[in-house]
Structure 1
Amino acid sequence: MGVERSLGIFSNSALKLEDDLSISVIIPVINEKENLSKLIPLLLSYGQGYSVDLWVVDGGSTDGSSKTAENLGAKVLKSEIPSRAEQMNLGAKHAKGDILFFVHADTIPLKSFALDLNKAVKMGYLAGCYQYEFDSDKWLLKMNSWATRFHGLFTGGGDQTLFIEKSLFHDLGGFDSKYCLMEEFDMVKRIRAKTRFYLIPKSIIVSARKYDQNSWLKVQLVNLYVFIRFHLGTDPILLKKIYAKYLKS
């Protein structure tokens, strides 16, 4: 169904299945077998009734991620290039849904995600993301999570997921493949130049593993430095090298 006949504010009770927009979930992975074992069953269960097709795009895993995904009911694509931008573009090329939903493998979605995305698009928001909370009780991470309630320069990073109406995604040319890092921020920047970007007022759960492997301060400083260099137009390959040099992943 086209988005244009669905725009407008509505209540939960007014939503009928025949009016719903279908959703394609796209998960770029490299060696995420354990996380996929948790994530895929949740997405398939929570998305029932919205014709969800779920694509795992493997960039060269050696831990059996692809086989695990297939066994759990996902469709699997193999990307010759181990880059999230390339992987997500490949998934989008095969996706059948009206809405594309890009999710990192270490994310825990909300039960309401399919309804949330439908509401957003039907209200006229053709792209957006969630707030998030970490799977940690550390107060510094709680502070980080609190900051995701607000629109700002840091809104739209991959941890927050990204939804986008499919025709808008293709109009924008998909993710810019030159970005081997910061590809979501580049996409959000281009979305905002064309239309409104919606911050869904609900929080998903994301992994704190990056902070567990590095200090909170180190992650913040490296993220800030790379983010500033991104906005100054630094070559994405150099940004990725900087990130890999200073942070364990």
Structure 2
Amino acid sequence: MVKSQKFSTISIIIPTLNEASHLPLLFADLNSLRSNSDLIIVDGGSTDLTISIAQIHRVNVIESLEKNRGYQLSLGASKARRDWLLFLHADSRLDPGWEKSVLKIIMNKKSKDFAWYFDFKIKNNNLEFRVLELAVALRSFFLQKPYGDQGLLIHKDLYYHSGGFSCLKIMEDLDLITRVTKTNEVKRIRENLYTDDKKWAKSNIIKRAVKNSKLRKKWRQGYNNDRLSEEYYS
């Protein structure tokens, strides 16, 4: 078993907005390193029990002035006290023992020259989700473009050297990773990170993938970020 004190150099940052149904499960996955890690929730104005649940679990809660994930992530990073930053979405789940792989990375001095991501997984037996997982794996490896639902493990030095998260409501993950990969590589942690399948199950995967691709193209063309966010959530 990995001793939690080994993780005294990692801050875990989770942006939230009405995530009461997800947080207890994620906190359970993170429990193995809680005692000596820096766990930060940056809330964007939840109206459910998100903040209460975080407080019950004795998590550091920062209430954001904006409902803006990029701003929330940036704010969380600015409050982090550790050398390594781990950014996770609130609907994420991790396999038992995942912390061993992260420990191996952060204990290697050469690891700080890279950004690290988890393998994207969906807990749903439908074949279409396996195809989606494969597509994400290929994109992440060959195009060096992992997205936010794959998590991001990055040393503070590289994070700030790359400019950190911009205050974007959407595409904040792609924006940062694009800047990171101009000078550094991203690598696999070789552990799974499961995302809630509900947001994918609600719509046709192909249609959603095409829509997301069009939104990314608009973002690269400088389209207004607020409008992009409205289109994404419509």
User: Scaled by the length of structure 1, what TM-score is found?
Assistant: 0.83
Q: Quick one: distance in 2 between partners of 1:147 and 1:200?
A: 17
Q: Quick one: distance in 2 between partners of 1:98 and 1:85?
A: 20
User: 1:143 maps to which residue?
Assistant: 131
Gap change, CA 1:220 and 1:97, over 3 Å in 2: same
Q: Quick one: distance in 2 between partners of 1:233 and 1:17?
A: 44
User: 1:46 maps to which residue?
Assistant: 32
* Residue 23, structure 1, aligned to residue 13, structure 2: no
* Residue 76, structure 1, aligned to residue 64, structure 2: no
Question: 1:189-223, CA deviations, whole angstroms, 9 ceiling, x for partnerless residues?
Answer: 11111212112223221111111222222211111
Q: How does 1:53-72 map to 2 (within 5 A)?
A: 53-72=38-57
Gap change, CA 1:186 and 1:169, over 3 Å in 2: same
Q: Quick one: distance in 1 between partners of 2:6 and 2:231?
A: 47
Gap change, CA 1:237 and 1:152, over 3 Å in 2: farther
**Paired residues of 1:41 and 1:72 also in contact (CA < 8 A):** no
The Cα shift of 1:91 comes to: 1.0
Q: Quick one: distance in 2 between partners of 1:72 and 1:32?
A: 14
Question: 1:54-90, CA deviations, whole angstroms, 9 ceiling, x for partnerless residues?
Answer: 1111100000200111101211110010111111111
The Cα shift of 1:234 comes to: 2.3
Q: Quick one: distance in 2 between partners of 1:157 and 1:133?
A: 13
Question: 1:1-60, CA deviations, whole angstroms, 9 ceiling, x for partnerless residues?
Answer: xxxxxxxxxxx9xx99887662111110000001001111221x23257x3111111100
Q: Quick one: distance in 2 between partners of 1:202 and 1:35?
A: 20
**Paired residues of 2:69 and 2:169 also in contact (CA < 8 A):** yes
Gap change, CA 1:68 and 1:17, over 3 Å in 2: closer
Gaps of 5+ in 2: none
Gaps of 5+ in 1: 1-11
Q: Identity of paired residues, percent?
A: 26
1:102 to 72, 87, 106: 87
**Paired residues of 1:125 and 1:196 also in contact (CA < 8 A):** no
User: 1:124 maps to which residue?
Assistant: 110
Question: 1:114-147, CA deviations, whole angstroms, 9 ceiling, x for partnerless residues?
Answer: 3323333426233121112101111111111123
SS of the equivalent of 1:31 reads coil
Aligned AA (1:161): G
Q: Quick one: distance in 1 between partners of 2:6 and 2:25?
A: 30
Paired residue total: 229
User: 2:23 maps to which residue?
Assistant: 36
* Residue 224, structure 1, aligned to residue 203, structure 2: no
User: 2:193 maps to which residue?
Assistant: 204
